[in-house]
Amino acid sequence: MDDAGLTPVPSVRRARPDELPACADLYVRVLSDTFTWIPRDRHSAEDFLKAAREEDVFVAVEAGRIVGLAALYRPQAFLHSLYVEPRGRGVGKALLDHVIAAAGGRLSLKCQTANLGAQAFYVREGFRCTEAGEDGGVAWLRFVIG
């Protein structure tokens, strides 16, 4: 349970290889539902699986079901992905805390400028914005902690 005793805290662990397709499905589903400013055809399971070959993928599991994922590119202590479904229950925080610890307390990430909810989440968790840029016509902000 969380500190208030209201919501079970999910278990977070490294994803098994056989779970990566389910992670890719979650990735596409959350991107398609959340990133409404990007055409749906730009979200693919193949993109996730290709990146996952070089990343440490962690999952949040509740009642035997994957409810979130985070992908860490360890050489740069870079959070490449953090996706949860449903949001607002502490799953993202549990994953983020796990990844920060796995990265030795220092972590960076890019957040699309249109994703105001994610920006607020990262600031609330202690990240600070250090840079702005654009990739392929999509504006982003870099956040760091540690």
**What's the one-letter identity of residue 1?**
M
Domain ranges of the chain: 11-105
Task: Give the CATH fold of the 11-105 domain.
Answer: Aminopeptidase (3.40.630)
pLDDT in tens, 30-69: 887 776 566 556 668 999 999 999 999 999 999 889 999 9
How high is the pLDDT of residue 37? 64
Q: What's the pLDDT band for 1 if we cut at 50, 70, 90? A: very low
pLDDT in tens, 105-146: 999 999 999 999 999 999 999 999 999 999 988 899 999 999
Task: Answer for the pair 55, 71: CB distance below 8 angstroms, yes or no.
Answer: yes
